[in-house]
Amino acid sequence: MPQRPRSTPFRRPTSGLSVSLVVVGLVLLALALVVARSTRPATPTGADGERSGLPIPTDDCRSLPGFMANPEIGLSGGGLALATNRSEMGLVLLSTRQPDQTYQHPTWRRAGYLGPIAYDREGNIYVAPTPRLSLADNPLAGATTIWRVAAQSGEMAPFVRLPGAAHERNPYGIIGLSYVCDLHWLYAGHVIGGTPTSEHGGVVAIDLNDGTMRPIVDNTDVMGILVVERGEGYELYLALARSPEVMALPLDANGMPAGDMRPLLDLEQAGASASERVRKLRLVDDELIADLVPFNYSLQTSAANEPNRVAAWRYNATTGQWEVSRRAALP
């Protein structure tokens, strides 16, 4: 399987991953209960995205969880959203029109503070812990667990546990999640077990039917990830944790590696600093958007309230390359 066996020392920038690493999971509660295909990048005139090789989303079958429509929750004011980036520990359901109105199921705090979030076609939600300023709220033992929130009941429970263990010099675990509708697989990017001299992270594909795990990338510390459709198969975009780069790995129609990893994005060319990494990648309309965050494997209070910067690229169908459309800046 593709791997990067080289050992790269930890970089020590002045600010680290903290509350800004957490991922916002927004799902608007509207009449359409399925995320529309309108989020796909625009295809060239007269061309079909699949045939032209244009990267398109793999998660546009996502459904809203049934519990969000439960009147017993007691939220009003229109659209509802799920978030992991608020001051409250755990998952929070809120009204986008009246953000002071919130709801938390009794189980949503069990994993401590959360980071990445993903949704499947049945309305189930998947989250992973992300420590902020203290390991008291996010013990090391929980860093490798992905939790699932049941679509109908809203109850959150452990789903799968990735191999390896976090440690005090690297308390982080799963940083990126990406769902593929046609496979019903969840891809997880992680930095579990990384040390100052070696990388032990990677990407794992999880079959949501039975929890079976398949290694996709080994010996590479990975942060934000995104799977896109390309032609007859897929492509995995993975942000490196030890350098300001995003790589691309071709996947076959079964979601498994089908070629060599190649460089995709140089973050510094988009104005990112040498210490910034991608915590989240997403396709929105015709842009590939990266949420950036300083990262050095350690918990640091100095970055607790720093907002994320964002950079973006547009796909050039003629050259087959992503070109910078927005340089790194505050949103």
Tens-level pLDDT at each residue, the chain (331 residues): 665 544 444 443 333 454 343 333 433 333 333 333 434 444 443 344 444 568 999 999 999 899 998 888 888 656 889 999 888 999 999 988 888 889 999 999 999 999 999 999 999 999 999 998 889 999 999 999 999 999 999 999 999 999 999 999 999 999 999 999 999 999 999 999 998 889 999 999 999 999 999 999 999 999 999 999 999 999 999 999 999 999 999 999 999 999 999 999 999 999 999 999 999 999 998 899 999 999 999 886 434 446 789 999 999 999 999 999 999 999 8
pLDDT score for 318: 92
pLDDT score for 46: 38
Q: Which amino acid is at 74?
A: G
Residue (of 319, 297, 300) closest to 240 by Cα position: 297
Q: Which amino acid is at 312?
A: A
| Distance of alpha carbon 230 from alpha carbon 49, whole angstroms | 8
The backbone torsions φ and ψ at residue 268, rounded to the nearest 5 degrees and listed phi first, read: -65, -30
Structure token pair of residue 281? 């990648």
| Distance of alpha carbon 261 from alpha carbon 216, whole angstroms | 11
What is the pTM assigned to this prediction?
0.86
pLDDT score for 331: 83
Q: Residue 281 belongs to what H/E stretch?
A: strand 276-284
pLDDT score for 196: 80
Q: What's domain 19-44+54-329's superfamily in CATH?
A: TolB, C-terminal domain (2.120.10.30)
